[in-house]
Chains A and B, each alone.
Chain A
Amino acid sequence: MSDLKILAVDDSPTMRRIIVNTLKRAGYEDVTEASDGKDALAKMQIDSFNFVITDWNMPNMDGLTFVNKLRGDPQTAKLPILMVTTRSVKDDIISALKAGVNNYVVKPFTPDTIKEKINDVLANI
């Protein structure tokens, strides 16, 4: 079991449950859910996390804005972020990397991909 404290941000309740199940299966038990960037920032005010998994297209605050906010705050500037989204266009991936995501997973994903990318991000920070 891992001591990683993960914040999973996605506006789809079904998707959040799938991500939580996938993470638990991979040994990550401590997962908090948020429904969009705004909700995620509010949860980060009351709790601390050492890994963020975020969707891109969300209401209220999208994933890219959320990542920009995290990178603009000295306290979260180096927080590992994995973007998990349906967007697979080259320009989108470049924008996400420029905004500061550590890695990028395209939906629909396999549990192995999520596990591999989390390990990859953790190995490179």
Chain B
Amino acid sequence: MDIKQLPNFEKELRGMREAVGEMLSRFRDLHSPIRESQARMPEASKQLRKVNDQTEAAASRVLDVAEALSDRDTVLINKLCDAAKIAETNACTELAGRITDCRELAELNQNDSFAIMEALQFQDITSQQLAHTMDLLHDIEVRMDVLMAMMDGDGEASQRLVNSDAGNTQKSYDPNAEFAVGKSGQADVDSLISSLKSGG
């Protein structure tokens, strides 16, 4: 039987052509917004890199100050120790007590300086989180590029995605880095290591 003799064949065919035409038109409408979004991706990555550089610089500055405070505290603590000894030698008990109080305060200040340095570990962790975000943005950019190329009729576009994934295996960051892991995490690590070492 000749297919052209089917009832409504021409009408169906015309309908299909219109549907395909409509789909192509919608693809074309999508084309510009996708291209614009893709063009913004490198800018987003650049901004994130700037955030990372600036927090690194700020962390470094805070470290400078905390180190300077700690060094001055060391000098102060030593001088107050000497002063307390002199006061005791000269039987100035009350003065020696007050000097010791001051030394204890200086020691507390020094401990706080070290606590500030310790807290600055956030920089390493957030920089790894930002590196992960930049990598994700790059991945989206590549996928959008491939999508655009496929919409433009480039049959080999999907191969670029495969090539891009293949070159993306070595990461110099931990995608799961978290500041909160710290103390509770160390206890879990210790318990795992001792169970592994004892053959568990």
Residues of A within 8 A of B (CB): 10-15, 17-18, 21-22, 25, 56-59, 62, 85-90, 93-94, 97, 103-111, 113
Contact = CB atoms under 8 A, between A and B. Distances in A.
8 contacts: A12-B127, A14-B60, A15-B124, A18-B117, A56-B174, A86-B124, A87-B176, A106-B185
A14 B196 contact: no
Contact of B174 (A10, A85, A108): A85
Given A12-B127, A14-B124, A59-B172, A104 B177 contact: no
A18 B172 contact: no
A17 B186 CA distance: 21
A68 B185 CA distance: 25
Would you call the interface of chain A mostly helix, strand, loop, or mixed?
Answer: mixed
B120 interface: yes
What is the interface of chain B mostly: helix, strand, loop, or mixed? helix
A86 B186 contact: no
A25 B124 contact: no
B65 interface: no
Most central of A93, A107, A110 by chain B CB within 10 Å = A107
B188 A88 contact: yes
Interface of B: 56, 59-60, 63, 67, 70, 114, 117-125, 127-128, 170-174, 176-179, 181-183, 185-186, 188-189, 192-193, 196
Nearest to A58: B172
B196 A106 contact: no
A2 to B, nearest CB: 18
B122 A57 contact: no
**10 tightest A-B CB contacts, nearest first:** A86-B177, A108-B121, A59-B172, A12-B124, A15-B124, A14-B123, A106-B185, A86-B174, A108-B182, A88-B185
